[in-house]
Amino acid sequence: MSDIIFKYFEKISSIPRGSGNEKEISDYMVSFANDLGLEVIQDEVYNIIIKKDASKGYEDAPTVILQGHLDMVCEKENDVDHDFEKDPLDLYIDGDLIRARGTTLGADNGMAIAYQMAVLASDTLEHPPLEILMTIDEERGMTGVANMHPEYLDGKILINLDSEEEGEFLVSCAGGVRSQLKLSHTSIDPDTSLKYYQINITGLIGGHSGTEIILERANSNILMGRLLNDLNKNIDLKLSRVDGGSKDNVITRDTKAIIGISKDQEERFKDVIGKWQNIFKEEYRVQDPDIDIVVESLELSSVEYILTEDIKNKLISLLVLHPNGIQAMSKDMEGLVETSLNLGVLTTNSDSIILSSAIRSSVPSRKELLLEKVEELGKLVGAEYERIADYPAWEYQPDSPIRETAIKVYKEMYNEEPKINAIHAGLECGFISEKLPGIDMISFGPNIRGAHTPDENLSISSAKNVWDFLQELLKHIS
């Protein structure tokens, strides 16, 4: 029966479902529920709730909510031609793994949706009354769960299926917020006497800015700031633009800068590039062994404008001083990141430069402190500060019957203890606990590696194991 979960995963992978583009997948779920004769609610933001009656003998059991999100992070390799607005994912099997050619796989959180669909379609599964909650826009800001109508739900237990480590039960998560700095400027015409180059810091692995921030991989936006700062000290540097990243919850893998220099400074320019190539290679030889600096000569016609000296210096200062990466480790749980920031997106426009970051912390006061640092940094250079998409932490509950049941079932099935853990990434459980006070929650899922990168992959055997465990767990809720 486990093949059914891969059938459903393949189906949803044929439907574009990037964050902010979930209407088609949401409409498909309405049709899916209608075809099964089940009650379905589609709210105004396209969240889906599907209700299924208890199987025989479970009518008096507490209602269980199975929860996952419909959207996925859309990242691709630079040389891959893929339109996430309309193209299906190109899935393939690599041994025990499912991958997508050149793009993110969307197993985060497509496997949750596949599990939910399989549960709904089964006429043999033993289970309590079920409410299937499929939210939108989790990856971009959790606006789906933030706008969820709690009055549509009766569940007393919630199983979140948005975890990525088999055999691990998550029982709390960090809260988070997005911050944005906007540095306004007036662009000027490029100097026709200069030689122009594009610098590309590339070859980085990147990753999920929550779960993989602990790996301390390089952020190409931050590296570009270091490189530009040294260039600015050593040559008369003109800066046209700097652009890196597309999502603030992804560790930035590729950043480009367009610069102009006089011809007599070309040798010094090459020396500085070579110096930083060696520095970056040495610093990140373990985390990002393929890091590279690629320089390309540009025609004057491809340079639209350059920044004033004042704005150039302010931008470089922002990139050098901006917090990034792990800020504090948990004192309560060994190996858990407490507070972090990821400068995920840097965009240069003709009238402004935008720096967007994802901030996470399990300690609200530490999250506020980091926000204050970004805000004060912005003030120093005259940048506007904005706080966006704040979401709460999911706090650990000492008394959790669903956690105890899950532990018992897991030990009976595998003769070993599961890991009980917290996660630095944000889960929708924080919002849900606010909207449904007293709800008993747990989170688990199959082995997914490389989430939020084109290297994302799903273990087939692990996905089957989690499907078996989910079925057994539902049988034991009474």
The per-residue pLDDT for range 166-186, each reduced to its tens digit, is 999 999 999 999 999 999 999
Catalytic residue, candidates 71, 131, 137, 166: 71
- Return the pLDDT at 129: 98
Residues 6+ apart with CB under 8 A from 277: 292, 293
Position 141 confidence tier, pLDDT thresholds 50, 70, 90: confident
Q: Mean of the pLDDT values across residues 318-346?
A: 95
The per-residue pLDDT for range 182-212, each reduced to its tens digit, is 999 998 999 999 999 999 999 999 999 999 9
- Return the pLDDT at 156: 95
- Return the pLDDT at 183: 98
The per-residue pLDDT for range 219-258, each reduced to its tens digit, is 999 999 999 999 999 999 999 999 999 999 999 999 999 9
| Helix segments in 143-193, DSSP class H | 143-146
Q: Residue 2 above 90 pLDDT?
A: no
- Return the pLDDT at 389: 85
The per-residue pLDDT for range 344-378, each reduced to its tens digit, is 999 999 999 999 999 999 999 999 999 999 999 99
- Return the pLDDT at 426: 87
- CB of 268 within 8 A of CB of 234? yes
Domains of the chain: 3-174+393-475 (3.40.630.10), 177-391 (3.30.70.360)
- Return the pLDDT at 264: 95
Q: Residue 1 above 60 pLDDT?
A: no
For 420, counting Cβ atoms within 10 Å of its Cβ (0-12 exposed, 13-18 middle, 19+ buried), the class is: middle
Of 44-48, 92-96, 128-132, 391-395, the one with minimum mean pLDDT is: 391-395
Q: Mean of the pLDDT values across residues 304-328?
A: 97
Catalytic residue, candidates 138, 243, 254, 338: 138
Q: Is 390 a catalytic residue?
A: no
CA 229/CA 314 separation, integer angstroms: 11
- CB of 78 within 8 A of CB of 426? no
- Return the pLDDT at 332: 82
- CB of 200 within 8 A of CB of 269? no
State the average pLDDT for the chain: 96
Q: Is 39 a catalytic residue?
A: no
Q: Residue 121 above 90 pLDDT?
A: yes
Tokens 């704005």 belong to 311
% of the chain at pLDDT higher than 70 = 100
Q: Mean of the pLDDT values across residues 58-83?
A: 96
Q: Residue 6 above 80 pLDDT?
A: yes
